[in-house]
Amino acid sequence: MSILLIIGTFEALFLTVLVVAMKNKTTSDLFLGLIFFVDALSIGFAYLQYYNIQNSFPMPWALNIGFVFMYLHGPALWFYISSQSAKGFRFRPYYLIHFLPFIVFFTIQFFIFATLETPEKIQIILSESFKETNFYKTAVLCIGTSTISYYLWGLRQLREHRKQLRNHFSRIDDKDLNWLRILIIASLITYGINHLGFNLDLIFKYASFNVLMMLSYGFASIYILVMGFFGLRQGNIFIRPDERITGLKHEKRRSDKQEVSKGAEDKFVESLLEHMSSRQPHLDPEITLSSLASQLGVQSDYLSTILNGSLNINFFDFINSYRIEEFKTQALEDRNSHLSIIGIAYDCGFNSKAAFYRAFHKMEKVSPGDYIAGLRRK
């Protein structure tokens, strides 16, 4: 297990350097580097603690430090997700409150342990008497609560991000950060098990701190490998400022202008549907809310209002509904008999097999193959 910690530490440091050395770095890249660096500190100090115990404590200054850096894992992840899902993300002074738990526990740990004489430190570590202190019990509870809360918060951020994407893009497979959602869920399970182990030990005292620590940071080393692989291959996905429309912002714009009459909205809806039928913009795989609004000569926020208000549908589903109807038409034409299902789907504006099958099943409640077979049997 110690070898795994060494690998995890150097891997995290390598990824940190790799991110810092990247050309054209973005804010999200820097926060990704922060995640790696925090992991390197946590895993590295865990290894040094193990090394101290196994080798007569040659570096007593490194004892009982690693756990404090756990308070930085949640904030680092939150900053990364926030910077990934919004263009122009800036660090604001009040964000420093995210680091308050780390500062508090680091300061307390320094005064109650780091300032002790070396023999006393060693005695505390060997006897594990620190496990009986209120500080340790509070720290264990707070680390679990903090980390899991941030991860749940991260999932909520990703859900809101996906909702925004559906209002602005007709394809989101390369933008929705789904890899990060899966990774967070897996991390929640892993961290949940780890923290449950530490908290149950407070009651049943079934394992030494060293064993619990090695298992916990061993999982963290594996997490770093997966995070590094997927994080660095993920493109930077941003919504341009003019396309980031929230309900509050939109409501303000409408209140600043004269209310559009119901008749005008109905007329625009009519022209929108006629444009979709005659010009078929849905056949463009890269069509966005902004580009469609430009074709219609209106602002993207107005088009979004019409879709979500008058038609009760987001842009993503609106465009894909036309693509599905186009597919249903082309799939039954003899001239397309030589094409596969996905080949026809690509001609209809889709450029992902998974996205096409999900959209078709959502709207028709059956697979494309079953739908076509059913029509041909009639």
Report which secondary-structure segment, H or E, holds 194: helix 178-204
> Is residue 162 pLDDT above 70, yes or no?
yes
Q: Measuring CA to CA, how many Å separate 244 from each of 12, 28, 97, 193, 293?
A: 34, 18, 26, 38, 14
Q: Of 29-33, 157-161, 169-173, 250-254, where does mean pLDDT reach its minimum?
A: 250-254
Q: What is the DSSP letter of 261?
A: P
pLDDT score, position 239: 42
| Residue whose C-alpha is closest to residue 12's, from 328, 227, 315, 163 | 227
Q: Is the pLDDT of residue 94 over 80?
A: yes
Q: Which residues contact 217 (CB under 8 A, 6 or more apart)?
A: 5, 8, 42, 43, 46, 47, 66
- Superfamily name with CATH number, domain 2-242: Rhodopsin 7-helix transmembrane proteins (1.20.1070.10)
Instruction: Kindly tell me if the per-residue pLDDT of 249 is higher than 60.
Output: no
Has residue 356 got a pLDDT over 50? yes
Whether 1 has a pLDDT exceeding 80, the answer reads: no
Tokens read off for 262: 């119901």
The pLDDT confidence band at residue 260, using thresholds 50, 70 and 90, is: low
Nearest alpha-carbon partner for 198 in 187, 185, 214: 214
Give residue-wise pLDDT tens across range 211-247: 888 888 887 788 777 766 766 665 443 344 334 333 3
99-154 pLDDT, tens per residue? 999 999 999 999 999 999 999 999 999 999 999 999 999 999 999 899 999 999 99
Structure tokens at 88: 């122009």
DSSP characters over 36-84: HHHHHHHHHHHHHHHHHHHTT-S-GGGTT-GGGGGGGHHHHHHHHHHHH
Give whole-number Cα distances, 184 to 29, 67, 93, 298, 346, in Å: 18, 20, 27, 39, 32
More confident residue, 269 or 222: 269
Return the C-alpha torsion angle 239, 245, 248, 253, nearest 10: 140
- pLDDT confidence bin for 174, thresholds 50/70/90: low
Q: How far is it, in rounded angstroms, from Cα 208 to Cα 227?
A: 29
Closest to 308 measured CA to CA, from 348, 250, 362, 242: 250
As a whole number of angstroms, the distance between CA 46 and CA 7 comes to 12
Question: What is the pLDDT, as a whole number, of residue 257?
Answer: 42
pLDDT of residue 255: 38
CATH 1.10.10.60 for domain 243-377, yes or no, is: yes
Name the more confident of 268 and 193. 268
In order of 64, 144, 314, the CA distances from 128 in angstroms are 11, 20, 57
Angle at 47 between CA 67 and CA 9, to 5 degrees: 90
Domain boundaries, the chain: 2-242, 243-377
